Amino acid sequence: MSVALSAPDISRALIRISHEILERNQGAENIILLGIPTRGAHLATRISQTISTIEGRDVAVGMLDITMHRDDLRMRPLRAIMPTSIPSSGIEGRDVVLIDDVFFSGRTIRAALDALGEIGRPRSVQLAVLVDRGHRELPIRADYVGKNLPTSPTQSVRVHLTEIDGIDEVLIEGESN
Amino acid sequence: MRHLLSINDLSLTDAIGILDTATELSRISDGQVKKLPTLRGRTIVNLFAEDSTRTRISFEAAAKRLSADVINFSAKGSSISKGESLKDTAMTLQAMGADAVVIRHGASGAPQRLADLEWMTGSVINAGDGTHEHPSQALLDAFTIRKHLGKGAADLAGIKVAIVGDVLHSRVARSNVLLLNLLGAHVTLVAPPTLLPVGVESWPATISYDLDSVLSQVDVVMMLRVQQERMSDLFFPNAREYSRYFGLNLQRLALMQPHAIIMHPGPMNRGLEIAAEVADSARSVIVEQVANGVSVRMAILYVLLAGAPSGSESN
């Protein structure tokens, strides 16, 4: 088990991502940050705080549970459904930034796109992830990446955040072949 | 968990898990999203060998909102009315590849019988069997109570519930006593002695024969339907006398605490166990129970059908 990102690394990555989101969207006015529970939701909150500090105005933030849209429900033990909260303005015509901790097969994001489609039609959907570990199974890419971590499929990547785990770190478990 | 036959199948964690899932699902139903793809391609059979409006429609709506295919099947108009046995009916459903059978049956234990058949691969959900149990009704009642009086808690600790009326014939009462007790609520059964089942002393509930003295003490008053169709005997002298001693009318409503709510599993005998003005009053959550029923049944279907099939869970 090795530490891939330490607490300062995570903090710097999130600040950079916040700046990149603002640069790409020319400000925070039209964007909505939607975190995917549970850790993606905490990352969304942190990015929204950074953006508020930079811009001096609040940015819309919410969370989107994608459990009911997963295509692998039958392959795993039952998952608990997490809360979904969409800012009252809705997502119609807005630039939605989906935020997740680890970007792997791309299936979570496919499910998130389906879930979004049920709620409305955003002007654009972008994707921010803390860690991209590769091994995509679908033609989906991230717009903002905290760190690219080359891994083997047998390894697992664990993200720990202070809000849940009491510490900020990203760990890689298992041997690379 | 593969089947839902009785509240006794549930642990406290299971029960709270279903209520929490239903809470999230009810937020979805309240919003713009009415349909989720979760159970796409799965077949759910509603096997109703006894009449029902609410439960059947509710299970059908729940299954459809999760994108499952629903086959409705009632005793009237099917081979059950030609005398086909439950086992033969089940064999047909199995051959058609039903992933779940929602069964309502006049005989207590019919769902258990179905679940015990070794070759049945689907889930069996008890939607009311004889005078035995009606677990999905108890779960939606608990959900409704938690929503109104739970103050954010996961369980129902400290909440006092009176269940009033025909306890003898009521599968709703039996399931509710078990579930409310599991969730930490305190149940008082109020009924004439003739409408209490043998062995009721062993139930985890207090028993009273005096409605007026109980009303001011409780947070929830759950009225039960007088089940005339199951009454082969004379259980009370006449409807007027029953109504006078055990009916909920406006005078009795005034005895209740201001926050207390009124529930009824339906269908109601207006004027017998509940006065029309009480059923339609602001304190009554009877219509809301029906709406919550869909969310709770979606949660039940999700918990039983969405995860990996039992046996392969270690993979």
What's the rounded mean pLDDT across residues A102-118?
94
Residue B314 maps to a domain = no
- Region B270-288: mean pLDDT is 95
Calculate the average pLDDT of chain B: 91
* pLDDT reported for residue B314: 36
Question: Which among B28, B35, B39 is the top mutation candidate for probing chain A, defined by the most A β-carbons within 10 Å of its own β-carbon?
Answer: B28
Amino acid at B6: S
Contact check, Cβ <8 Å, A118/B35: yes
Q: Which of A66, A67, A71, A81 to mutate to test the interface with B (most CBs of B within 10 A)?
A: A81
What burial letters (b/e) apply to B198-210, b meaning 16+ CB within 10 Å? eebeebebeebee
State residue B311's pLDDT score. 47
Question: Exposure string (b/e) for B258-290, b if CB count within 10 Å is 16 or more?
Answer: eebbbbbbbebbeebbbbeebbeeeebbbeebb
Which among B4, B25, B27, B67 is the top mutation candidate for probing chain A, defined by the most A β-carbons within 10 Å of its own β-carbon? Answer: B27
pLDDT tens for residues B209-253?
999 999 999 999 999 999 887 776 778 888 889 999 999 999 999
Among B87-96, B108-117, B156-165, which is the least confidently predicted range?
A: B87-96
Domain residue ranges of chain A, discontinuous segments joined by + = 8-71+82-150
Find, among A84, A32, A82, the residue nearest to A59 by Cα: A32
Instruction: Tell me which chain B residues have a C-beta less than 8 angstroms from the C-beta of A112.
Output: none
Q: Which stretch of A78-92, A98-112, B267-281 has the lowest confidence by average pLDDT?
A: A78-92
Question: Does B165 share its domain with B261?
Answer: yes
Q: Is residue B313 part of a domain?
A: no
What integer is the mean pLDDT of B179-189? 97
Q: Are residues B109 and B207 in the same domain?
A: no
- Tell whether the model's pLDDT for residue B79 goes beyond 80: no
Residues in chain A: 177
CB-nearest to A114 from B28, B37, B302 is: B37
Name the phi and psi angles at A46, rounded to 5.
Answer: -65, -45
Per-residue model confidence (pLDDT) at position B261:
97
Contact flag A76-B28 (C-beta cutoff 8 Å): no
Q: Assess whether pLDDT exceeds 90 at residue B91.
A: no
Residues of B in contact with A116 (CB under 8 A): none
B139 and B281 in a common domain = yes
The answer to the question of residue B221 being in a domain is: yes
> What range defines the domain where residue B230 resides?
135-289
Per-residue pLDDT reduced to its tens digit, B121-144: 899 999 999 999 999 999 999 999
Contacting residues of A for B315, CB less than 8 Å apart: 75
pLDDT digits (tens, 9 = 90+) for A60-69: 999 999 999 9
Of the listed ranges A2-6, A38-42, B88-92, B266-270, the one predicted with least confidence: B88-92
What is the domain count for chain B? 2
Does one domain contain both B122 and B156? no
CA distance B125 to chain A (A): 18
Please say if the pLDDT value at position B93 is more than 60: yes
Position B309 pLDDT exceeds 70: no
Q: Is B6 on the interface with A (CB under 8 A)?
A: no
Give, as one character, the DSSP assignment of residue B200: G
* Same structural domain, B180 and B268: yes
Residue contact B38–A73, C-beta within 8 A: yes
Q: Are residues B105 and B250 in the same domain?
A: no
Q: Are residues B139 and B285 in the same domain?
A: yes
Per-residue HEC secondary structure of B251-293 comes to HHHHHCCCCCEEECCCCCCECCCECHHHHCCCCECHHHHHHHH
B312: pLDDT strictly greater than 70: no
Query: Which region holds residue B48: left if phi is over 0, alpha if psi is between -120 and 50, else beta?
Result: beta
* pLDDT surpasses 70 at A177: no
Q: What is the CATH number of domain A8-71+82-150?
A: 3.40.50.2020
pLDDT tier at B29 (50, 70, 90 boundaries)? Answer: low
Q: Pick B308's closest partner by Cβ from A74, A80, A118.
A: A74
Both B39 and B185 in one domain: the answer is no
Q: How far is B33 from chain A (nearest CA, A)?
A: 6
Residue B103 and residue B171 in one domain:
no
Q: How many residues does chain B have?
A: 315
- Residues B276, B193, single domain; the answer is yes
**DSSP-assigned beta bridge partners for residue B207:** B189
Tell if the CB–CB gap between A118 and B308 is shorter than 8 Å. no
Cβ separation A82–B35 shorter than 8 A: no
Q: Are residues B155 and B300 in the same domain?
A: no
Is residue B148 domain-shared with residue B272, that is, in the same domain? yes
Contact B46, B72 (CB under 8 A): yes
ipTM value greater than 0.90: no
Pick from A78, A84, A120: which is nearest to B307 by CB?
A78
- The tens digit of pLDDT for each residue in B30-66 reads 666 678 999 999 999 999 998 888 999 999 999 999 9
**Average pLDDT of every residue of chain A:** 93
User: Does any CB of chain B come closer than 8 Å to the CB of residue A80?
Assistant: yes
Per residue in B7-20, pLDDT tens? 999 999 999 999 99
Poorest-confidence range of A35-44, A103-112, B95-104, B304-313?
A: B304-313
Angle made by CA atoms A100, A104, A107, in degrees to the nearest 5 = 80
Place of tokens 């005034």: B254
Q: What is the CATH number of the domain that holds B58?
A: 3.40.50.1370
* Confidence class for position B108, pLDDT limits 50, 70, 90: very high
- B54-60 contacts: CB < 8 A, separation 24 or more? B54/B266, B54/B267, B54/B290, B54/B293, B55/B104, B55/B127, B55/B128, B55/B134, B55/B136, B55/B137, B55/B293, B56/B104, B56/B127, B58/B290, B58/B293, B58/B294, B58/B297, B59/B102, B59/B125, B59/B127, B59/B136, B59/B297
Looking at residues A100-126, what average pLDDT do you find? Answer: 94
